[in-house]
Amino acid sequence: MEEMNRKKIKKTGRKPKIDPAVHRYSFNLSDEDNAKFLALFDQSGMNVMAHFITACIFQKTVKTVKIDMNAVEYHAGLTNFFGQFRGIATNYNQIVKLLNSNFSEKKALVYLYKL
């Protein structure tokens, strides 16, 4: 009898959340307010609008991310330069190995000085 009274625990499906968000609220904005709201939402960098609204209501810190395009271009230029520098170093390394394997040490040094 005790076995029949026990509920069978199913191990399929999604695990229930500990604290589900079941309370819903609705509010209306004018065109001006909506434009301000969307601008603030874009500046925050958050992906979910509901998280942004709750952060604003409960006065949590809302992070804003500003991207400096000059710094991005500078970083891209440095990355490109470093890639070229690494390519030159690799080519130089290959040439030195070939010279050392095919010629005597003195002849290889003569060819290296010409580079």
How many domains in the chain?
A: 1
Whether residue 46 lies inside any domain: the answer is no
Domain for residue 102, yes or no? yes
Q: Residue 77 falls within a domain, yes or no?
A: yes
In a domain, 92, yes or no: yes
pTM equals 0.40
Instruction: Give the pLDDT of residue 6.
Output: 60
For the chain, residues with pLDDT lower than 70 are: 1-10, 62-64
Consecutive H or E run containing 111: helix 105-114
Residue 28 lies in a domain: no
Domain carrying residue 95: 69-114
Give the pLDDT of residue 44: 85
How many CB atoms are closer than 10 A to CB 82? Answer: 10
The whole-number pLDDT of residue 9 equals 66
**How much is the pLDDT for 3?**
59
Output the pLDDT for position 83: 93
